[in-house]
Copies of this chain bind each other. A is one copy, B any other.
Amino acid sequence: MRAPTMTQHTIIGLSAAAFLAAAALSPVATAGESEGRSWTLDDILHAPEVSELTLSANGRFALYAAEIADSEAKRTRTQIRIVDIGAGTQHDLSSASIAKSFKRIPGTEDWSALLDIGEGQQLYRIGANGGIQPLVANPEPVAVGKADLSVSMGGGAMPHSVGILGYDWSPDGKWLWYSRLKAKAGPPHIRFDEEVSTLANRKRSSIEAEIEVFLRAPDGTVAKVITRPTRDRMAMYAGGRVIWQGDEILFRIESPDGTLGSVFETRAWNRKRQTMRTLSNERNARTLTMLRGPRNGILTTGGTGTMLELAEMRPDGQRHIYGRFGFTISDSNYALSNDGHRAVVGTRSIENPRYGLLLVERSGVREITGAASLTKCDFDDRITQAVCVEEGMATPPKLVHIDLASGKIDPLLPVSARYDEIAPLDTRPRRWTNRDGYKVSGYVMYPRGYRPGSRYPAIVITHGFDADERFADPENQWNYPAQLFAERGYVVMLINDPSPSQSADLRAAYNAWSRGSGPPDPKTMQRLIWLESVHALEDAVNELAAEGLIDPQRVGIAGYSRGAQVVNVAITHSRAFHAASSGDGGFLEPSGYAGWPAGYNPVYGGPPFGEHFEQYLRFAPSLNAEKICAPVLQQVAAAASMQAELFEALRAANVPTQLTYYPGASPASDETHIFHIPSNRLLAMRENIAWFDYWLLGKRDADAPFPERIAAWDRMAKEGRPRCDTAKPPP
């Protein structure tokens, strides 16, 4: 254990001494490796991400799933493992294409899970002895994801096939609620009007399917509850989220009505009478799940600022206030005890974005935080103990056991021992306040062998609010190899957008964006949601330059998706960045309007033709390409029109640029928004290193993945715009 990690152990809930004692017991801790080795690209590529974790009923075992890049299989695969908590040992059960929805089967020591182990995603029983048996199988699974003849699931889903979509057990384990995906038969139908407009954006063939929901009784008979279209996001993505209440099972359906908000209904299925009734009907429901508290109400945090009010809204309309805290809450680590008297919710602290737990009882609350973030927790039925993953920016993920009564956290096992061999990089959480008073959180990763007094080149990585205490997380650093940049002598700044919880105006702007209409007016929206982020990044760069840490003439900026929006706005509004990498983005460009009018309307006032064109002219990056000095690399999985539009505009404005498209595993499928094909991710990381080395440092990377492109960079550097003279001269 190295100092930077140890210094983080002063958080309430676990003393540094206790942690060190626990660490000494860890079976993989090896003496004398405190120096450790450097990061490699392979380390980043193979960083495991725990996606599921569940205790056994007796608390002696835990079942977990770790997603790890599999270069052989050309995709991410999931390792399923069983942990013997007492012995502190684990063994691999199986490897699956998909492994999700791990649950205990009530009344047994076994688990159930949705796995794809060759037959598409189906429901299996997993014994504590490691045996895997089918529980419910759909013999006709349906292809989903970004591939030909598949049901669309958005850009994030890698191509796979789904038989069983969701499930839940009754509290006694005797009834099984499940939903399955079924392809619609027959030839394609003739479409009219808006149903045609949506096709204008398709890139691949798709098929239609529907979702059938069933309830299996203790005697094995199966009743069909309802059939829903795949447009019902509740049925599609939350099929197992039901409430068992007497003879009724409560679930929610969404009736898309053409608005952004849709209409949500709560339905109740009576398992004895086999009848349905509608309990409530609400527009614009904001959450999929409600966090039930110990007073039978709903737990929420409210207010603005750095301390938020935690309250429970009771069914009688009364509001119980637990106090003010420096975190937000979510359902990611949520559980309620069997007797309903004790709840636990996940927290994310505002100052330093770290995940923890909050035990909520009628008598009060208790925060439990670890040496780093506590994620993927599971609890026993009485909420007395937990297993979690502990992970941080510089802390490789390990499993820990938590005694909730004492708050004691015991390390169990590392998820992958190889990361303990690496000498952690000095990574410090930091907050900045921009010139307009908006606060952002983030991290500064120091270059390996950092010497105070030297100035280093810097790379800013930005992606919404994902710069938090997680380990080498692709959702945050995408194909930007932060650790490798630090190994190669860059300061890496991982910086979040200003959190909307800090002020009413930011919250109003984000609400308008998700609602699809202002107020505020477009100009204010542009400022609050994009320009304040850019100001924060620019001010953070200036601050670190003023401290003497970074060289302000060699600063790059990188971000994907939401981050790409910020990158594209940053380079059109700021001269602080001298090279840019913009990943699979394009929102804000005019041609994107057709694909998401509700997202554009509040930002620009309307479509890009006619009266609103002035707003686009003012703010769309491609229409402001003349102002850009930084060379721009776009790495894309979608080949969307907006990306081509920005590329063409940069070309026309003589800005050095490259548009690189990473294809799917075959012509029948696409790479996903977060790359799932290891070879693509590796090449994209190497391409970013070569790009920034070339344009910021004037270096030709010997490991550049497409060396033949460097001639084009040389040409662009030579012919590039002379007025932008702040950039480093080419090598």
Does chain B have a CB within 8 A of A327?
no
Say yes or no: A188-B641 contact (C-beta < 8 A), given A609-B590, A609-B616: no
Complex-state Cα separation, A664 to B644, whole angstroms: 28
**How far apart are the CA atoms of A470 and B674 in the complex, in Å?**
55
**A205 interfacial contact with B, CB 8 Å:** yes
Report B-chain residues with C-beta under 8 Å of the C-beta of A647: 193, 196-197
Q: Are B659 and A200 in contact (CB under 8 A)?
A: no
Contacting residues of chain A (610-650) with chain B, CB-CB under 8 angstroms: 610, 613, 616-617, 622-623, 636, 639-641, 643-645, 647-648
Q: Is the CB of B640 within 8 A of A188?
A: no
Q: A616-B609, A647-B193 are in contact. Are A664 and B200 (CB under 8 A)?
A: no
Within 8 A of B (CB), among A658-675: 658-668
Interface residues as binary, A686-730 with B (CB distance below 8 Å gives 1, 0 otherwise): 000000000000000000001001000000000000000000000
A187 at the interface (CB under 8 A from B): yes
A204 CA / B149 CA spacing, docked (Å): 10
Q: How far is the CA of A408 from the CA of B200 in the complex (A)?
A: 54
B196:A643 contact, CB within 8 angstroms:
yes
Contact of A192 among B189, B609, B658, B666 (CB under 8 A): B658
Task: Say whether A191 contacts B660, CB under 8 Å.
Answer: yes
A184: nearest residue on chain B (CB-CB)?
Answer: B667
- Report if A135 contacts B (CB, 8 A): no
Instruction: Please judge, given known A-B contacts A191-B663, A665-B187, whether A202 and B203 are in contact too, CB under 8 Å.
Output: yes
Q: Which residues of B lie under 8 Å from residue A613 when comparing CB positions? A: 609, 613
B594 touches A644 (CB 8 A): yes
Instruction: Look across to chain B and name the residue whose beta carbon is closest to the beta carbon of A148.
Output: B148
User: Which residue on chain B has the smallest CB distance to residue A206?
Assistant: B667
Min Cβ gap A406→B in Å is 54
Taking CB atoms, residues of chain B closer than 8 Å to A661 are: 190-192, 195-196, 199
Q: Is A498 an interface residue (CB 8 A)?
A: no
Q: A407: CB under 8 A from chain B?
A: no
Q: B667 touching A149 by the CB < 8 A rule?
A: yes
Nearest-CB residue, chain B, relative to A613: B613
Say whether A553 faces chain B, with CB atoms less than 8 Å apart: no
Q: Nearest Cβ distance between residue A53 and chain B, in whole angstroms?
A: 34
A201 touches B662 (CB 8 A): no
Asked if A298 lies at the interface with its beta carbon under 8 angstroms from chain B, I say no
Q: Determine the chain B residues whose CB is within 8 A of the CB of A680 once the complex forms.
A: 190
Complex Cα distance, B198 from A640, in Å, reads: 10
Cα–Cα distance between A85 and B187 once the two chains are bound (Å): 44
CB of A659, distance to nearest CB on chain B (Å) = 5
Asked whether, in the complex, the Cβ of A594 is within 8 Å of the Cβ of B591, the reply is: yes
CB-contacts of A570-616 with B (<8 A): 590-591, 594, 608-610, 613, 616
For the complex formed, measure the closest distance between the CB of A398 and the CB atoms of chain B, giving whole angstroms: 36
Pair A636/B190 contact, Cβ less than 8 Å: no
Partner pick for A196 among B193, B201, B202, B636, CB 8 A cutoff: B636
Task: Tell me how far the C-beta of A482 lies from the nearest C-beta in chain B, rounded to whole angstroms.
Answer: 23
A137 CB–B CB distance under 8 Å: no
> Which residues of chain B are within 8 angstroms of A616 by Cβ–Cβ distance?
609
Copies, count: 2
Q: Does A207 contact B (CB under 8 A)?
A: yes
Within the complex, the shortest CB–CB distance from A665 to chain B, in Å, comes to 7
CA A665 to CA B188, docked complex, whole Å = 7
Given the complex of chains A and B, what is the CA–CA distance between A148 and B143 in angstroms? Answer: 15
- Chain B residues whose CB sits within 8 angstroms of the CB of A250 once the complex forms: none
Determine if B659 and A192 form an interchain contact, defined as CB atoms under 8 angstroms apart: yes
In the complex the two chains form, what is the Cα distance from A666 to B197 in whole Å? 19
Does A683 count as interface, using CB distance less than 8 angstroms? Answer: yes
Inter-chain CA distance A283–B173, complex, in Å, is: 77
CB contact under 8 A between A666 and B188, given known A196-B643, A594-B591: yes
CA–CA, A188 and B187, complex, Å: 30
Find out whether the CB atom of A594 lies under 8 angstroms from the CB atom of B668: no
- In contact, A660 and B200 (Cβ under 8 angstroms): no
Interchain CB contact under 8 A, B663 and A188: yes
Q: Is the CB of B200 within 8 A of A644?
A: yes
Chain B: minimal CB distance from A531 (Å): 21
Cα A706 to Cα B189 in complex, Å, equals 12
Query: In the assembled complex, which residues on chain B have CB atoms less than 8 Å from the CB atom of A666?
Result: 187-188
A636 to B636 Cα, complex, angstroms: 30
Among the interface residues A189, A200, A659, A683, which one has the most CB atoms of the partner chain B within 10 A? A200
A517 to chain B: closest CB distance in Å?
16
For chain A, residues 503 to 552, give those with C-beta under 8 angstroms from any C-beta of chain B.
none
Nearest neighbor of A597 in chain B, beta-carbon distance: B648
Chain B contacts for A667, CB-based, 8 A: 149, 188, 205-208
| Measured CA separation A188–B679 after assembly (Å) | 12
Would A205 and B668 count as touching, CB distance under 8 A? yes
The contact string, 1 if C-beta is below 8 Å from chain B, for chain A 194-232, is 011101111111111000000000000000000000000
B200 and A640: CB pair below 8 A?
Answer: yes
How close is A597's CB to chain B, nearest CB, in angstroms?
A: 9
Q: Which residues of B contact A643 (CB under 8 A)?
A: 196, 200
The contact of A623 among B193, B591, B609, B617, by CB within 8 Å, is B609
Distance A555 CA – B663 CA, assembled complex (angstroms) = 51
Give Cα A190 to B353, complex, Å.
36
Among the interface residues A192, A640, A662, which one has the most CB atoms of the partner chain B within 10 A?
A: A192
CA distance A680 to B189 in the complex (A): 10
Leading 5 A-B pairs by shortest Cβ distance: A188-B663, A199-B639, A197-B644, A196-B661, A200-B644
Additional A-B contact list (5), CB under 8 Å, known A197-B647, A200-B643, A591-B591: A188-B667, A190-B660, A200-B644, A205-B667, A205-B668
List 16 A–B pairs whose Cβ atoms lie within 8 Å, in order of A's numbering: A148-B205, A149-B668, A188-B664, A190-B660, A191-B663, A192-B709, A193-B659, A195-B661, A197-B644, A197-B648, A203-B203, A594-B641, A594-B644, A608-B609, A609-B623, A613-B613
B-contacting residues of A (Cβ < 8 Å)? 148-149, 187-193, 195-197, 199-208, 590-591, 594, 608-610, 613, 616-617, 622-623, 636, 639-641, 643-645, 647-648, 658-668, 680, 683, 706, 709
